[in-house]
Structure 1
């Protein structure tokens, strides 16, 4: 195993971990806070997710000898941000995380469950994700309106760096945000600097039928459709034959362990998977798994510093970190919207899904994401049924 290690894999693993963490940790913090997490609970959730995806990436890559990259569910966090606070507090949201990840385990171990997920029309699933992301993608515009100079600096950093290298766009925006935060550091901020103790904080799970429908079901489908299934596809495109069932079950098990500490879920990566599984990680495919191992090691290290990260973010105007999160989701929004409306035969179902989800309206205490998914599937099934009769 050690003979397969290479400096190239080390470098790519470090880059993948940095891009994966820096490009979306703001989305995770925003999503956890939106469903009721305190600053300490959000830091704990971020740490639990980072450590979980690092440990799982190492285990799966060593076991399969494939570059299996693991990430936190960024679309899932975006879903949480759109869902908002749940009756019963953050503990009830954590219960919903647990239930969603039990479904992921079942999808990996029970073939009919996994097959049922793949039968959800891709256009409908993509439209739900686009609807969830749309409100968050408005944040950069709102930031410019509220703080013109700071908002424009963050946007300019993202645009210029992205024109040079797409992967560096969000890290550049994050560096601009960090520089602005340091420049405007409030007096006495260092008095609240966290200690070196680990940021993990236990959250006792609670359960309610509203949270099961508002969070569990949409979180499961969004994570499966937008990251788990594409993650397997990326490995196949690069010449690997991953054991899909065990990989999915593994993400569910580690997510269940992370949930009581505030983590909503980890899953197979898609973007960073392309980095670790591609030729830039090593010319020989059989040696590329070391890039995912190194990424896992760095994720664990990053996870140990989340207390400081959340403290630092708390010193800035919330809309500015939301702007960074919104910029991080531009790519996901454009890709999901494009996939949703690409096929004329499913365009109406996708439009209904998108509009209901993006409205942000809740009915019977259940978020719009669930109703959007349900409405889209109904319109899709109705259209299919009528065409068969004709």
Structure 2
């Protein structure tokens, strides 16, 4: 293994870790806070997620000799951010995280269940994801309305850098946002915490509400992260068996859930950085990019407390603006996938509208009802044609 290490692969791993962390940690913190986490619990969750990304990334890449990148579920974080706090508080949310992790493990262990998940019509899965992301994607423009100068500076930075290199657009917007917060917020009187976060063990609570949150969390994690993650590896010439990878990410999600972590999964976007020729000309040596990205995620776990406390002291509208910019690409892809097929377009639109509306019954979020309603419409259309 040591003979295969290269500066190019380590650099690609560092870039993947920086982009993965900086582009969406605001989404994760916003999601954990929305479902009832305190600042200390959110910092614990961010730390647990970083470790749950880093350790399996190192293990899988070294074991398979393939550049396996692990990421937190950014769509899952967006789902949490658009959900209301559960009656059981953050303990119920942790119960949902555990249920979701168990479902991911089952999907990896039992092929029929995994195939059943993959048979969910893609237009409906994409429409549900688009509905989840819609509210957050409006945040940059709400920021412009509330704080015109700051909002425009953040948006303009993202727009201009994206024209040069889209990969760096969100990290550049994060840097500008941090500078604006430092210049415009009185941080001297704020307790921005210590560098090292404290692991907080949350006793889970299981309820119908927890199940209602767990099901869409599981579905968006599988449909928008795990399955595309396998596709990225395949596109670059790697053919790992999906089952063990799904099971492994589910096990790490299960271990991290009691500490406030919602889910980890195979990376999609950052996986291309580690699996592509940028990591090394020789595909057999690119696995060091996966190992190094995992190692850097473990290091980033140490700053989770400071990152969470800093965001807590910042104006929420600016943090939401950065989170929304980070999700625009995912939203565009989800919308395209939802309405691309004319036959399922009406069902997909209904799924999107129900999900985006925030409709909730019996404490179960709109994402579940959106998928259920869209599936019913699609089934009725199919029955009518038969």
Alignment of 1:85-104 (within 5 A): 85-104=85-104
Contact 1:199 1:306 (8 Å CA) reproduced? no
Deviations 1:237-259 (A, max 9, x none): 11111110000000000000110
The residue number in structure 2 matching 1:24 is 24
Deviations 1:256-293 (A, max 9, x none): 01101100000000000011000110111110010011
The residue number in structure 1 matching 2:207 is 208
Give secondary structure in 2 for the equivalent of 1:84.
coil
Give secondary structure in 2 for the equivalent of 1:17.
helix
Contact 1:199 1:304 (8 Å CA) reproduced? no
The residue number in structure 1 matching 2:115 is 115
Contact 2:197 2:306 (8 Å CA) reproduced? no
Instruction: Count the aligned residue pairs.
Output: 386
The residue number in structure 2 matching 1:385 is 383
Displacement of 1:197: 4.2
Alignment of 1:283-302 (within 5 A): 283-302=281-300
Using structure 2 for the length normalisation, give the TM-score: 0.98
Task: Tell me if 1:144 matches 2:144.
Answer: yes
* Alpha-carbon distance in 2 for matches of 1:149, 1:304: 33
Alignment of 1:37-186 (within 5 A): 37-186=37-186
> CA 1:63/1:175 → structure 2, altered by over 3 Å: closer, same or farther?
same
Contact 1:106 1:249 (8 Å CA) reproduced? yes
Contact 2:50 2:300 (8 Å CA) reproduced? yes
Displacement of 1:112: 1.1
* Alpha-carbon distance in 1 for matches of 2:161, 2:332: 19
Give secondary structure in 2 for the equivalent of 1:267.
strand
Q: Which residue of 316, 323, 328 maps to 2:326?
A: 328
* Alpha-carbon distance in 1 for matches of 2:206, 2:244: 28
> CA 1:306/1:335 → structure 2, altered by over 3 Å: closer, same or farther?
same
Deviations 1:313-360 (A, max 9, x none): 122101100100000000000000000000101101101100110111
Q: Which residue of 239, 242, 245 maps to 1:244?
A: 242
* Alpha-carbon distance in 2 for matches of 1:198, 1:19: 21
Give secondary structure in 2 for the equivalent of 1:304.
helix
* Alpha-carbon distance in 2 for matches of 1:287, 1:59: 15
The residue number in structure 2 matching 1:316 is 314
Deviations 1:145-165 (A, max 9, x none): 111111111111111111110
Contact 2:140 2:324 (8 Å CA) reproduced? yes
- Structure 1 runs not aligned, ≥5 long: none
Give secondary structure in 2 for the equivalent of 1:71.
strand
The residue number in structure 2 matching 1:277 is 275
Give secondary structure in 1 for the equivalent of 2:71.
strand
* Alpha-carbon distance in 1 for matches of 2:18, 2:130: 25
Contact 1:144 1:150 (8 Å CA) reproduced? yes
- Structure 2 runs not aligned, ≥5 long: none
* Alpha-carbon distance in 2 for matches of 1:379, 1:275: 39
* Alpha-carbon distance in 2 for matches of 1:185, 1:79: 29
RMSD value over aligned CA atoms? Answer: 1.0
Contact 1:189 1:315 (8 Å CA) reproduced? no
Displacement of 1:187: 5.3
Q: Which residue of 328, 345, 348 maps to 1:347?
A: 345
Deviations 1:39-89 (A, max 9, x none): 111111011001110001001101111000000000001111111211110
Displacement of 1:365: 2.0
Contact 2:196 2:304 (8 Å CA) reproduced? no
> CA 1:385/1:297 → structure 2, altered by over 3 Å: closer, same or farther?
same
